Structure 1
Amino acid sequence: MKTVKNEFKQQYKSSLEVSRNIANDVKAYWAGIGLGPDVIDQIELCLVEMVNNAYEHAYHSEDGCPIELTSYLNDKNELVTEISDYGQSMSKDEFTKAINNEFIEPDPDDPETWATSGRGFIIVVQLTDSLEYINLGDKNTFKLYKNTNR
């Protein structure tokens, strides 16, 4: 059950810069509900990663497609941040693989270790308490949960 007294909810259009715009907008909300700078910085990084993923993977870097953000404190005092798109969905297997990937330290002598793709989910898993992926119809939503320590 979702008990929400105050939430941030906004729709944006996909672009290369949209993740920064979204982060700038929602940070004021997060500060206003009393989140500390450490929590804000961590969840901001996760938000930017997930919005960039929506732009790059769900929309194949196409500008002007809808990205929705909802953020609120739930009844467990966790910050819940939902990033939704209407682009290409992930399979459950792809999601499971993405969240279970391990970070590979880049080796200057091995170009195969230089890839940046796939690191976003590793960062998000490390910095959140829980991550869900929900696909309903044509809507894909990533729900990030972060204990606020309030």
Structure 2
Amino acid sequence: MDADYREYHIRLSIDSRLEQVRILSGALRGIGQELALSEDKLGQLELILVEAVNNVIEHAYQLQGGNDVHVRVEYSPQQMHLVISDHGHAMPEELHAGFNGMPDPEGLPEGGWGMGLIQALADSTHYIRDAQGNHLYVSKQLA
């Protein structure tokens, strides 16, 4: 393995309160700056993370504090993976299966843009629900 090649696996966790999302965003920004990510890629990753965690808090936990939101950051020089996990309500299938672009603004009374933004900015997304909870896997190419 190349002496300059590094992989990192970082785990972060917050309570399911919207005011804590900013702290998580700041932690990701610090990680990205330490890894010398471009401002463009870092901004996209930060937006992906904020949208995903806000969705967990708003929809999976229905704005109820006292629940854990876990984020795993996996970095290699070629790509970064974010895994957002929770134990709340499952994501509706229409939000993660067969996605075809941004939602129709006429059909959205409020919100509904989170998964569209995530999928537009990410190189790949995958959602699963298993015995351990809900897991949204997001990958972003860096190289």
| Coarse TM-score class (shorter-chain normalised) | 0.7 to 0.9
Deviation at residue 94 of structure 1 after TM alignment = 4.5
TM-score w.r.t. length of structure 1: 0.81
Counterpart position of 2:90: 89
Query: Matches of 1:139 and 1:131 in 2, distance apart?
Result: 17
Structure 2 unpaired stretches of 5+: 1-5
Counterpart position of 1:100: 100
Query: Matches of 1:42 and 1:115 in 2, distance apart?
Result: 25
RMSD over aligned Cα, in angstroms? 2.1
Structure 1 residues 86, 40: closer, same or farther in 2, change over 3 A?
same
Query: Matches of 1:140 and 1:15 in 2, distance apart?
Result: 18
Q: 1:45 aligns with which of 39, 44, 47?
A: 47
Query: Matches of 1:90 and 1:138 in 2, distance apart?
Result: 14
Query: Matches of 1:27 and 1:73 in 2, distance apart?
Result: 13
Counterpart position of 1:123: 117
Counterpart position of 2:142: 148
3-state SS of paired residue (1:118): coil
3-state SS of paired residue (1:103): coil
Deviation at residue 54 of structure 1 after TM alignment = 0.3
Contact 1:103 1:119 in 2 (8 A): yes
Query: Matches of 1:91 and 1:121 in 2, distance apart?
Result: 11
How many percent of aligned residue pairs carry the same amino acid?
A: 26
Counterpart position of 1:108: none
Deviation at residue 102 of structure 1 after TM alignment = 3.2
Deviation at residue 101 of structure 1 after TM alignment = 5.3
Structure 1 residues 7, 73: closer, same or farther in 2, change over 3 A?
same
**More moved, 6-15 vs 46-55:** 6-15
Q: What is the aligned length?
A: 138
Deviation at residue 93 of structure 1 after TM alignment = 4.6
3-state SS of paired residue (2:69): strand
Query: Matches of 1:83 and 1:42 in 2, distance apart?
Result: 16
| 2:125 maps to amino acid | L
| 2:26 maps to amino acid | N
Contact 1:59 1:88 in 2 (8 A): yes
The question of 1:77 aligning with 2:78 is answered yes
Query: Matches of 1:94 and 1:128 in 2, distance apart?
Result: 15
| 2:129 maps to amino acid | N
